[in-house]
Chain A
């Protein structure tokens, strides 16, 4: 049973456009929702994260929107740039669970110049 599901599977966006990646989760005990970004040849790195006590968190061009009742959260990348081309993973964890993350399958974002 896949506990964290990402959509779409891949995404192509024009430079300057908005990239939107969605994530749905099953386990209502999850209470930490990070997004990781991975460039080719590198390990994933934390991009932005949210706790369920807020509905939105913004850091620069990156925003997480969180909908607790729908058990969904999404990543919005405003003014997408070719340098944003990477693989994006959503994840979820439960406090006190030794920081163990459950990852989605990842999506590849390509931003066309």
Chain B
């Protein structure tokens, strides 16, 4: 059974804190993605990675950075959390090739106060 796990289901942080969201997949997938989901805005791509140490900006990268030191792990970093980063964060992974299913984790609900 394929699996994408995220380190926390719920997280509450204060404005200005550095926040790490971790994602691990057990499918040996090359590609990994971070999205945020907000009501009425759907899924918006923050960053993606197609190989270890490789990353590309998505549609809304401002205020975020990522790290991929190992193939199975993709981390999203909020350098200085702000209230407008309160959201649901979803990680996904897929094999290389272009037409493969993206497998999503259960999401992390982040609240920044």
Contacts and interface: CB of A to CB of B under 8 A. Distances in A.
Interface string B63-102: 0000000000000000000000000001010111111111
A61 to B, nearest CB: 20
B43 A99 contact: no
Interface SS of chain A: loop
Interface residues of A, number: 25
B94 A99 contact: yes
A51 B101 CA distance: 13
B34 interface: no
A103 B31 contact: no
A43 to B, nearest CB: 3
A13 to B, nearest CB: 21
A32 B99 contact: yes
Nearest to A93: B98
Given A43-B90, A44-B90, A105-B40, A99 B31 contact: yes
A101 interface: yes
B42 A103 contact: yes
Given A105-B41, A106-B42, A99 B104 contact: no
Interface in B95-113: 95-107
Which A-B residue pairs are the 3 nearest by beta carbons? A43-B104, A105-B42, A95-B98
Interface of B: 4, 31, 33, 40-45, 48, 50, 56, 58, 90, 92, 94-107
Given A43-B92, A105-B41, 8 more contacts: A42-B106, A43-B90, A45-B103, A93-B98, A95-B99, A99-B100, A100-B33, A100-B45
Interface of A: 32, 34, 36, 41-46, 49, 51, 89, 93-101, 103-106
